[in-house]
Amino acid sequence: MRLDKFLAEAGLGSRSEVKKWLKDKQITVNGEVETSPKRQVISTDQIFAAQKPLKLKGLVYYLLYKPQNVITATKDQSQRTVLDLIKPSDYVKDLAPVGRLDKDTTGLLLLTNDGQLAHDLLAPKKHVAKTYWAKISGVMTKADADAFLHPLTLKNGEVTKPAHLEILAADEKEAYSEVLITITEGKYHQVKRMVASRGKKVVALKRIKMGALTLDPTLKPGEYRPLTESEIAKLKGR
């Protein structure tokens, strides 16, 4: 593997940032300063950056509290993405969000470079449940909750799978509700469209659970942490 590729994948930064490390003579390979990005290195080489040892990272799993106005993508020319929230030292090759949240939706988002797990969590036949807290303009009723237990026909004719709606609060005077909605699929803007099919509107939406993973209450919007071994095992069904 080329040295510059190794350094980038070890989390030292982008290719341009890696070149600066090399130019400034901050990289050593087996005890000797190396400035050439083309140097070929192998797994047994001892590679240091500013006297700190580097190694390629394996599979990583991050629980991110996605804030508003950040898009769920790996890169974008004009908008901030969820990967822009990840520190360069925590970044690894192929790191990507599992599924997506709308730009104005907040809450739990899993980021990983474990492609197999991402596939398993997103596969339609796996029916991985996702729970959202929502603030609604309008009063959700027992009739709405009952309707959610059956397939709903959306405005464009799409039909959803049965879901679960729990009413947390409802104020007829202020005409608003707070609810929990659990779905097992991921149609475009699904929660918003399901609520709209009942004549109400979602005004705030936050995902709080995905499968066995729950949003960490200690995280603030924009913050993230590695998953624990227990959380990873539960996600993988161990």
Tens digits of residue pLDDT in 179-222: 999 999 989 999 999 999 999 999 999 999 999 999 999 999 99
CA distance 122 to 98: 7
Closest CA to 137 of 195, 182, 207: 195
pLDDT above 90 as % of the chain: 76
117-126, 142-151, 212-221, range with the lowest pLDDT: 117-126
* Residue located via tokens 């539960």: 234
CA distance 144 to 140: 6
CA distance 202 to 105: 10
Q: Which amino acid is at 76?
A: D
Average pLDDT over residues 62-82: 95
pLDDT tens figures, 2-41:
999 888 878 787 778 899 999 999 999 999 999 999 999 8
Quick one: pLDDT at residue 237?
Answer: 80
pLDDT confidence bin for 238, thresholds 50/70/90 = low
Active site residue 144: no
- List of domains in the chain: 3-53 (3.10.290.10), 61-124+212-235 (3.30.70.580), 129-210 (3.30.70.1560)
pTM: 0.78
Whether 120 and 126 have beta carbons less than 8 Å apart is answered as yes
Helix (H, G, I), strand (E, B) or coil at 6: helix
Q: Say yes or no to pLDDT of 98 above 70.
A: yes
Mean pLDDT of all residues in the chain? 93
Average pLDDT over residues 103-107: 97
Q: Which of 45, 102, 120, 216 is catalytic?
A: 102
**Which segments within the chain are labelled E, that is strand?**
27-29, 32-33, 47-49, 52-53, 61-66, 96-97, 106-112, 130-137, 164-171, 176-183, 201-210, 213-214, 224-226
